[in-house]
A and B are shown apart, each in its own frame.
Chain A
Amino acid sequence: MNKKALSLVEITISMAVLILVMLPSFLAFSSGNQGIQMTDYEFRAHNAAIELVEQTISLPFDMIKSGQYDESDIVDGANFADTPAVFHLSFSSEFKPKMLIEDIIKNKKVVFKKVTVTINYPVTKLSKQRKDFSVKVIINNDSV
């Protein structure tokens, strides 16, 4: 009696079917993984921005010194401008913060300050591509 083995045709067809099915699966996995990484970084960038904004707007109005601040100024444990306020930052060095504080003057008085915090962050872990995430807020001078 002849022993019938899997035919080459069968194997070829099976491989083809498997490849056809696996390809979108791998694409989907890859995309999902990238999505997770993007979401992770975007979320962390967002948190970093919020952290910085919250620490800034919680200061007394007079201590919010106007100016342009970058990653060399915004360092965990360092003082904010020349004030006694100290930054307490939890984000890593992959996230590059920038902060722009502008005076809004009415009737020769600084009535508001506009704070723009921008976090520059990598899209994914190994990616060289970077994105910016910004938050803007205006703070009221209660003493005016």
Chain B
Amino acid sequence: MTLKLSNHNRGFTIMIALILGTVLLVLSVTLYTFVSRQYSGMNVIVNGEIAHFLAETGINTTIGTIRDSISNNLKSNSENYQKLRNIFLSGKSLKNVCINDLLDSSWNNDLKAFSREVDKTASIEVNVYLRDFKQSEMNPNIWHDPKAVDGWLVVESVGEYKKIQRKIVIKRAVSVFNLVPGVMGKFSLYLNDSIRKDENDYNIIRNDYNGMITDGPKPIIVYNHATPEYPVEPANIADVLRDERKSDVWQQRGWIWLKGGKTRLNLCSGSGDLGEFFQFYDVNTSNVFTPVKFSSPAQNLPESFFRPITLPWDRSSISVKNTAYRFWHSFVLDSFHDRSSRMLVEAMYEGQVLSNDERLYYGSKSSILHLFGDARKGFQSRTRVIGPVYSAFVRFAYLDVKPEDSDVKNIFENNNPKPIYLLRSLPKEYYNDSVAINEFAGRKVGGPILKTGMLFKDYKEYSALMSCIVELPYAESYNSMQDVYDRKADRVFPTLKKVLDLDTNGESVIERNGNTFYKGKPAIEDSLTLIKQRVQNTFSTPKEFWKKYLNKDGELELDSVVCITNSNNEEFVVPPVGQPQPLVVKGGGIILLNNGNITLRGISLANTSETFTIASTAESKVRFESTMTNMVNIIAPKAQVDYGSKFELFGSLCVKNIYADHRFQGGVIRYREAQDPTHSSYDRFYKVFIANTDSYWNE
């Protein structure tokens, strides 16, 4: 077989060679291109890794400095601190704010030097931002604080190597809020369910006429404003007295709410520390009290009081005489006392001015709750009292007798002591028109021989003016005190000027500078909800908690909001046994306890810009085991204050109730005025919390 090639087949070999060559060329170019791209791709990866390490170096070298710088700024009072704090507390939704200028940002110069060591194309830049800040407490039915925000502190490090960039971002959660426990910061005392058996439960104190208590339970005195005796933030007495005159002073003070059934508080007799005389006594001169003689308003008096009545005088054994008398009604108010120099029990019923029925119903013991401070000037602490709270006190009703005849008048007025005509308390069944109204000591003083029917049409008229134990809303005492400060002459009681009234609803608005912090009916649960939202760390047991936050000097360095689940129901003793008393709290904070009783043995704040709260969700007990001051707010809607040591609490006591029995040693609640959200001092308790843990992001 032979190969035949025609003329037109000539050049075939060249063609084959060309085609083969072209194919090989294409393949080789493709391979070259692929390898080149792979190489450059690998370079990107490799250079990217180096850029990543540069970025990581940026983070490593600066994070400590940045943390310290922010922390130092927030602790100092430098200009940068003010700027930083203003940014944090601006309440604005910050999207992305660089704060390098407010920190010691020389780190970028140090990083520049390091990156030059690596390569001339290498660079590292670290910037700090506040990012994605949004308001966190926005519900005015729980708490509305426009300055409370949540966001992120972002440290962003960009490493660059041979034009390849890698970015590492570290985010730390930031929370800004006020450490005062929300709406309960407005209350000195809040009892969630104040009455367990009946309205008389708190009336267990045996005191004498001067308010001296020799044994048995002692009262809790509640100061709703700063007084000169405060352990911190004492008030100037002149300022207190000036404010006290304002009829709306209650708005600036800690409030009281005794929730639950009707509470009757028998006011304690005496003008000393424990007495509550001051509501009815004149206090024009410092610490000198004189009883106020109240006149009854004319509209409350029967017609017989407006014209002279001719009656036989009581000296008929000397000479029989009928003469004209005018009558008026007045009264003094007094308080409860069980003991006197003459009677060891139920001394207030001596002289039978008050009835036996009243003795049986009210008894003679006074209340353990003294809601308006004490009798001293500057320590009287009237405020808003919410709930069906009534005060009970004694009204000694006088019949003012004025003979018209001048001779009789001389005889009458020359008696020493002055003649006293009391309208005794009479039960309805003992009343008739011929009950004699005699001079109290039984003297014949030239006064009238008077029977009830001569002045009063019926029992209704008499009982409205007779001596008796009066029960009025606690608010009436507030209103009456306004008359004292207004130096009102011819005082009437209850006063005609109504500032506050019985308030069982508690509807409240708490606002300042145009911001409404709260609107609704304040409840301890509202504060508890708020505290739960704020929890930053959780511990299983009190032991774990103390291990974390107790320093070597036995001080609590909290500066945080923590929850202790305490499912073993261990008692939460503050300070723990074996640690110095009182417990010094640094940084303030809130502890939320889910289980277990709370025992307080003295708590002190390291400085006045701190506030400390212990909250509990448990049905537990709060017990005071020391007479030391406890600078703490107690927020425990299901807890009961148990008997223990006499206590002193500097803050707000918000619990279910107070267990009152013969063992109760009483104490003092000093409302911390600085925590009042309606005061500008509230702002000092805003805290910027930066989380302890980082979130790493590669971007």
B46 & A20 in contact (Cβ 8 Å cutoff): no
Residues of A within 8 A of B696 (CB): none
Q: Is A60 an interface residue (CB 8 A)?
A: no
Given the known inter-chain contacts A31-B35, A32-B31, please indicate yes or no for A24 contacting B64, CB distance below 8 A. Answer: no
Produce 1/0 per residue, A107-144, CB < 8 A to B: 00001101000000000000000000111111111101
A31 & B21 in contact (Cβ 8 Å cutoff): no
Minimum C-beta distance from B14 to chain A (A)? 5
Given the known inter-chain contacts A10-B13, A21-B18, A140-B64, please indicate yes or no for A35 contacting B35, CB distance below 8 A. Answer: yes
B34 & A32 in contact (Cβ 8 Å cutoff): yes
Q: How many residues of A contact B (CB 8 A)?
A: 45
Among candidates A3, A11, A39, residue contacting B38 with C-beta atoms closer than 8 Å: A39
Residues of A within 8 A of B4 (CB): 3
Bound state CA distance, A140 and B65, in angstroms?
A: 10
Given the known inter-chain contacts A17-B21, A137-B53, please indicate yes or no for A26 contacting B42, CB distance below 8 A. Answer: no
B31 & A29 in contact (Cβ 8 Å cutoff): yes
Q: A140 — nearest CB in chain B belongs to which residue?
A: B60
Interface locus among A42-50, A75-83, A84-92: A42-50
B13 & A14 in contact (Cβ 8 Å cutoff): yes
Residues of A within 8 A of B34 (CB): 32
Q: Is B489 an interface residue (CB 8 A)?
A: no
Minimum C-beta distance from A135 to chain B (A)? 6
Most chain B C-beta atoms within 10 Å of own C-beta, residue among A10, A13, A32:
A32
Q: A50 — nearest CB in chain B belongs to which residue?
A: B49
A24 & B25 in contact (Cβ 8 Å cutoff): yes
A10 & B36 in contact (Cβ 8 Å cutoff): no
Q: B15 — nearest CB in chain A belongs to which residue?
A: A14
B31 & A139 in contact (Cβ 8 Å cutoff): no
Produce 1/0 per residue, A9-25, CB < 8 A to B: 01101110110111011
Residues of A within 8 A of B31 (CB): 28-29, 32
Bound state CA distance, A35 and B39, in angstroms?
A: 7
Among candidates B16, B39, B60, B117, residue contacting A39 with C-beta atoms closer than 8 Å: B39
A137 & B56 in contact (Cβ 8 Å cutoff): yes
Residues of B within 8 A of A26 (CB): 28
A136 & B118 in contact (Cβ 8 Å cutoff): yes
B61 & A36 in contact (Cβ 8 Å cutoff): no
- Chain B interfacial positions (CB closer than 8 Å to A): 2-5, 10-11, 13-14, 16-18, 20-22, 24-25, 27-29, 31-32, 34-36, 38-39, 42, 45-46, 49-50, 53, 56-57, 60-61, 63-64, 114, 117-118
Residues of B within 8 A of A39 (CB): 35, 38-39, 42
Q: Is A53 an interface residue (CB 8 A)?
A: yes
A25 & B49 in contact (Cβ 8 Å cutoff): no
Bound state CA distance, A43 and B48, in angstroms?
A: 12
A32 & B18 in contact (Cβ 8 Å cutoff): no
Most chain B C-beta atoms within 10 Å of own C-beta, residue among A20, A26, A33, A137:
A137
Q: DSSP class of A's interface residues: helix, strand, loop or mixed? A: helix
Residues of A within 8 A of B29 (CB): 28
Q: DSSP class of B's interface residues: helix, strand, loop or mixed? A: helix
Among candidates B24, B39, B57, B63, residue contacting A137 with C-beta atoms closer than 8 Å: B57
B24 & A25 in contact (Cβ 8 Å cutoff): yes
Among candidates A25, A31, A144, residue contacting B27 with C-beta atoms closer than 8 Å: A25
Residues of A within 8 A of B53 (CB): 53, 135-137
Beyond A18-B17, A22-B21, A35-B38, 14 additional contacts (C-beta under 8 Å) are A3-B4, A6-B13, A10-B11, A10-B13, A13-B14, A25-B28, A29-B31, A39-B38, A46-B46, A135-B50, A136-B53, A137-B60, A140-B61, A144-B64
Among candidates B2, B17, B61, residue contacting A112 with C-beta atoms closer than 8 Å: B61
Minimum C-beta distance from B437 to chain A (A)? 89
Q: A17 — nearest CB in chain B belongs to which residue?
A: B17
A111 & B64 in contact (Cβ 8 Å cutoff): yes
Bound state CA distance, A22 and B29, in angstroms?
A: 12
Bound state CA distance, A118 and B36, in angstroms?
A: 25
Residues of B within 8 A of A13 (CB): 14
Most chain A C-beta atoms within 10 Å of own C-beta, residue among B4, B25, B53, B63:
B53
Minimum C-beta distance from A138 to chain B (A)? 4
Residues of A within 8 A of B27 (CB): 25
Minimum C-beta distance from A13 to chain B (A)? 6
B5 & A4 in contact (Cβ 8 Å cutoff): yes
A18 & B20 in contact (Cβ 8 Å cutoff): yes
Given the known inter-chain contacts A28-B31, A36-B35, A137-B56, please indicate yes or no for A21 contacting B25, CB distance below 8 A. Answer: yes
Bound state CA distance, A104 and B3, in angstroms?
A: 85
Bound state CA distance, A137 and B36, in angstroms?
A: 29
Residues of B within 8 A of A136 (CB): 53, 57, 114, 117-118
A112 & B60 in contact (Cβ 8 Å cutoff): yes
Among candidates A11, A31, A134, A138, residue contacting B13 with C-beta atoms closer than 8 Å: A11
Residues of B within 8 A of A22 (CB): 21, 24
Given the known inter-chain contacts A13-B14, A144-B64, please indicate yes or no for A21 contacting B35, CB distance below 8 A. Answer: no
Residues of A within 8 A of B61 (CB): 112, 138, 140
Bound state CA distance, A113 and B60, in angstroms?
A: 10
Q: B7 — nearest CB in chain A belongs to which residue?
A: A4
> Which 9 pairs show the lowest CB-CB distances between chains A and B?
A21-B21, A28-B28, A25-B28, A32-B35, A140-B60, A35-B35, A25-B24, A138-B57, A32-B31
